[in-house]
Every structure is written in C-alpha cells, then in structure tokens.
Amino acid sequence: MSEFRLERDSLGELNIPKDAYYGANSYRAYENFKITDKAMDPYFIKAIVEVKKACAILNNKVGILSDKKMQAIVDACDEILAGKYLDQFIVDPIQGGAGTSFNMNANEVIANIANLSLGGSLGHYEHIHPNDHVNLGQSTNDVIPTAGKIAIIRYMDDLYEEVEKLVEAFDKKSKEFDEYIKMGRTQLQDAVPITLGQEFNAYRRVVKRGLKRFKAAKKELSYVNLGGTAIGTGLNADYYFVENIVTTLSDITGLDLNQANDLIDATQNLDGFLFTSSVLKTFAASLSKVANDLRLLSSGPTTGISDFKLPAKQAGSSIMPGKVNPVIPEVVNQVAFLVIGNDMTVTMAVEAGQLELNAFEPVIFYSLIESITALKGAISTLTLNCVEGITANKEKLRRKVENSVAIITPFAPHIGYDAASAIAKESMKSDKSVRELILEKGLMDEAEIDKILDYKRMTRPGILDEEHMEKN
C-alpha cells in the first residue's frame, strides 16, 4: 500500500504523506524553506487558528458560509486549540512570500480535519476547501500580521509577569540593604557614600520603567489590519464582515484588539513591530547595565570590589579550584546582545517594505519572539538564581567608606574646594586618613568633623553642618 497520496495544486501534482493533514502548498514550502530547522511557534499557531475560527463564524453570520461548513471549520479549529495536530504545521518560521506558506498550512490542516468530520477524505477537499472556505474573506496579508500581533501580545504578557517578579526581588533587596552604607562610584572611582539599598532601588526603578513601555507596545500591537484582505481595500470580503471581524476576533482571543483606522496604511507599514522591538532593546540595554553592575560589585572575592556576594551556582573553572563566576549576570548580558542584534534585523525588515506590502514579516515575528522568550528566561534565572540570594557584609562596607579619600567631598563647602583637593592628594600619598589630616592642619575639631562624617546623612540631599558654615 502506498505511503503517499497524490495532490494537485496550481503548479502540478505532488506526492503527500497519506496520513498528513497538510497539503501540497504546505509540503512545497517545507521543501523550499529548510532555514532554521525549527517548528512554527505554538502561540503563532494558536493565533492564526483563532483568526480562522473568527472568520468562519462571521462569514456564516453574513450568509456566505453554510451552518454545516461553519461548524465543521469551528470544530476543527477548536481541536487544534485544544493541542491536537500541532505537528501538522510543518513550514519553517522563516519563509518567502510574506507568510503565505504558513497561512496555507493552516488553511489545509483545518480543511482536512473538517472534511473528515463531514465524511470526506484527506486531500480531496470535497466538503471544505482551504481557499474557498477556510480562507474566505481573507488574505495572507491581513491574516499573518494579525496572527503575529496576537502571538507577540501574549508573549509580552508572559514577559510582563517575569519582570514583575524581578521588580519585587529588587524591592525586597532595597529594603533589606537600606541601612548598608557603602561607597558610590563614578567612572569606577570612589565618589560619595550611598546605601546599598539605594543602589538596588535604582535597579528596581529602571526595570519597572520597562513595564510601562511594554504596555505601550501592546497598545501599538492591538491595532490589526484584519478585514483589509490583499492590500487593505477589503476586496472579496463582505462589508459587514470587514466592519465586525475584529470585534469577533477579540471575543475569541480574550484580547482588546482594535481594527486599524486605515487598513491600507496598516497593511503597508509595520512600524508597530519596530516600536515593540525598540522597547525590547531599551529594556535589554538597561537590564544589561544592571547585570554589569552585579558583576563589578561582586568582583573578587579578595582582590576585587566585593561589595556583596552573588549566590554560588556552579563551579567556575576547570583548572582553578574554588573559583566561582558570575554566570547568571553573564547570561543576562548575552541575551541583551541577542535582543539588540534582533532589533537591527527587525529595523531592516520593516524598512524593506515596498509599495502595498511588506514581504518580510516572517523574520520580524521570528526575531521578536526569540527576543521575548530569551528575555523571559534570562529574567527568570536572574531573579531566582541571583538577585534573591545576594548577601552583603554591613560592617565591611562601612569600613570601606571610612577609609575612602572620597569622603573629603562633604568638607569642601566648609574648607573650600582647593584645600579639600590638597588634603585628598596628601591622603592618597601619605596613607593618612582625611580625618587625621583635617585635625593635623587645624581646619576643624573632632566635634565638627563628627557632624560632617554622618554617613547616613551623606546619602541624602543637603549641606552637612550648615550651622558651621553660617558661623564662618
């Protein structure tokens, strides 16, 4: 018995595995686009099936798709949404043709499932046709970008949840370290005192700002061009269908989707995807800076900065016993590099659109989904395997402050910048403390110095010991 069935499309006849729910269009794409060796994204599959379900329901409502055909398509969609037949989506995520291969893959799988339910056979489409029924009132050019936006919105929701956990972890550490006085640093040199809690609160804030930008990106993505068909004019789609399809899709997806105000514009231009990519890039760059700080401030353990310790998660060297590396911040850095690189890919793909269509949507979706999923993983491990386990020695940090030449700064308003600078230089040269030199030169007495060397007050705005300034 043959292991194949013969199908015919516009290019001719083709042997298809006999039990396959995909058809000739899908198989040709499978053969043509062996690019990434990856399966189509499951969120993307779910989204395009939801689009097909919504279209079937509305085409039935306007009277151009029978109850029987509509129900067969809807039932087929529901089976896929329940997790069946996912292995039948065989086209590569990166493909030529603006996503036509993926659209036809969905059309064929749904049509074959529906045909079987109506007593038909695989590949013959005697009851439900992939184009005439499943794709009725649609084009690749409105289906694919709409499904892509739905998928990315859901990925953004997943990312949002992970970022919220990281914000909470930084918040807890900022409170735990609120009284830990340490030296701040600018350009890797001692600056003025700060609390470790203040540093971690700054990390919390920069990460939290990303959440606001994520919401803005989701809003951009919520405007879809479904109903525009080939170039945004809505040709071959019923007028009522065009006016109501996005509302129907919103009900099915549970997402707050909106039809674009100008479907021609929305079909031509993909700036919403670029905006989303820029938001991800901005977040990745900020997160990478935080990871850099974690690596620097934990450097050592005996000859580095060593302001705090990262939790030890694995052996750091095949030759140096006992070495532990900052592997979690390092992987965060690498993910940031990936996201920033993907942003360039998205930028070029969005720019490369021509006339009424952008043919490069597949690589845009691939890049954005890769960026979001990688960021989600990086943030998860950063939260669980790094931030939550950071520890610090309060007294060790305080001693560093006391021994730093940089504590000359709050004395400058009292003794003048030039005198303070001279004391700083002498301190570094002589190894005498700032306190010792100020006393030695008779510039202030012990009580006056103690008022100024209030390290906690140094972490807040103000001129220390202003009364002394007024007196002089």
Q: How confident is the model at residue 41 (pLDDT cuts 50, 70, 90)?
A: very high
Residues designated as active site: 317
Q: How confident is the model at residue 469 (pLDDT cuts 50, 70, 90)?
A: low
Helix, strand, coil % in the chain, rounded to nearest 5: 60, 5, 30
Q: How many CB atoms lie within 10 A of CB 79?
A: 17
- Nearest CA among 95, 97, 94, 84 for reference residue 42: 84
Average pLDDT, the chain: 95
Whole-number Å distance between alpha carbons of 344 and 368: 11
Residue of higher predicted confidence among 216 and 318: 216
Q: How confident is the model at residue 10 (pLDDT cuts 50, 70, 90)?
A: confident
Coil, strand or helix at 68 = helix
Residues 204, 171 contacting (CB under 8 angstroms): yes
Q: What is the pTM of this model?
A: 0.94
Residues 458, 406 contacting (CB under 8 angstroms): no
Q: Given this model, what pLDDT does residue 463 score? A: 76
Q: Taking residues 98-126, what's their average pLDDT?
A: 97
Structure-block tokens of residue 4: 């194949």
Residues 259, 227 contacting (CB under 8 angstroms): yes
* Residue 471: pLDDT over 70: no
Q: Helices (DSSP H) in 222-326: which residue ranges?
A: 239-253, 263-268, 271-297
* Residue 316: pLDDT over 90: no
pLDDT per position as a tens digit, 396-444: 999 999 888 888 888 888 888 998 899 989 888 987 888 888 998 888 8
Q: Given this model, what pLDDT does residue 466 score? A: 67
Beta strands in 97-226 (DSSP E): 181-186, 189-195, 223-224
Q: How confident is the model at residue 248 (pLDDT cuts 50, 70, 90)?
A: very high
CA dihedral 302, 304, 308, 311 (to 10 degrees): -70
Structure-block tokens of residue 251: 């009900």
Q: Given this model, what pLDDT does residue 467 score? A: 63
Q: Show the domains of the chain with their CATH numbers.
A: 4-136 (1.10.275.10), 142-228+264-392 (1.20.200.10), 404-471 (1.10.40.30)
User: pLDDT exceeding 90 applies to what percent of the chain?
Assistant: 82
* Residue 456: pLDDT over 90: no
- Nearest CA among 240, 238, 235, 234 for reference residue 262: 234
pLDDT per position as a tens digit, 350-398: 999 999 999 999 999 999 999 999 999 999 999 999 999 999 999 999 9
In angstroms, the Cα distances linking 437 to 261, 288, 431 are 72, 41, 10
Q: Taking residues 123-152, what's their average pLDDT?
A: 97
* Residue 158: pLDDT over 90: yes
Whole-number Å distance between alpha carbons of 224 and 232: 11
Q: How confident is the model at residue 1 (pLDDT cuts 50, 70, 90)?
A: low
Q: Given this model, what pLDDT does residue 2 score? A: 72
* Residue 46: pLDDT over 60: yes
* Residue 470: pLDDT over 60: no
Residues 107, 48 contacting (CB under 8 angstroms): no
183: enclosing H helix or E strand: strand 181-186
